[in-house]
Amino acid sequence: MMFCGPHDEGNKTPTRRIDHAIRLALREALPLFIAGDALGGEEVRRFQVRASNAGVETAVAAFDSRHCTLADAQVVAAKILELRLERLNHVHLVTDWWHMERASAMLAGELERILHRSILVQPASVFTGPKPSSLVHENERRGLEDYLAGVYGTRRVYDPLCHRPQLSL
């Protein structure tokens, strides 16, 4: 699984997460689910093509327009259900290190809620890229707390990261 990230590298689409996910998928001969919400789904489609061109046998685009990590986790779980992957019991999650705790908790929780079974989520963190601000860290902490308390999405959050880019890939 790979959650697309914020557009935090200036005027270009960051590829650190997808490139890390492609290397992992190739090394372990794994299918790759690419979840994201930018550019009306164009980003996940282009990353799907990038993975296929690199030799990843199965690359599944999972787009949800709601612009949040929870939606990414839910759309991935829905794709697993749709593809009837009943024997799946373990996934690797690729995302930035500073996002991993919240993203992995949400993915594990939504996989269990939607699929009615526990699936081990193994972190495969990306450690390159810009250093996030203290506000990003605080938002991650609060988002995790809200998710675990069942109130995620009810609080207004100022997010300094660009999640809805107006740039070309």
Is 167 a domain residue? Answer: no
Range of the domain at 121: 2-149
CB burial of residue 117 (10 Å; 0-12, 13-18, 19+): exposed
Rounded to an integer, what is the distance from CA 69 to the centroid of its chain? 7
Residue 19 is part of a domain; what is its CATH number?
3.40.50
pLDDT at 63 over 60: yes
Ranges 10-24, 73-87, 103-117: which has the least confidence = 10-24
- What pLDDT digit, counting tens, does each position of 114-153 carry? 999 999 999 999 999 889 899 989 999 999 999 999 999 8
Q: Model pTM?
A: 0.87
CA–CA gap between residue 117 and residue 81 (Å, rounded): 11
Is 68 a domain residue? Answer: yes
Total domains present in the chain: 1
pLDDT at 166 over 60: no
- What pLDDT digit, counting tens, does each position of 68-95 carry? 899 999 999 999 999 999 999 999 999 9
* 160 band by pLDDT with thresholds 50, 70 and 90: low
Is 37 a domain residue? Answer: yes
Is 156 a domain residue? Answer: no
Is 15 a domain residue? Answer: yes
Is 165 a domain residue? Answer: no
Is 14 a domain residue? Answer: yes
DSSP code of residue 122: E
More confident call, 38 vs 22: 22
Is 45 a domain residue? Answer: yes
DSSP code per residue over 89-140: -EEEEB-BGGGHHHHHHHHHHHHHHHHSS--EEEE--B--SPPPPHHHHHHH
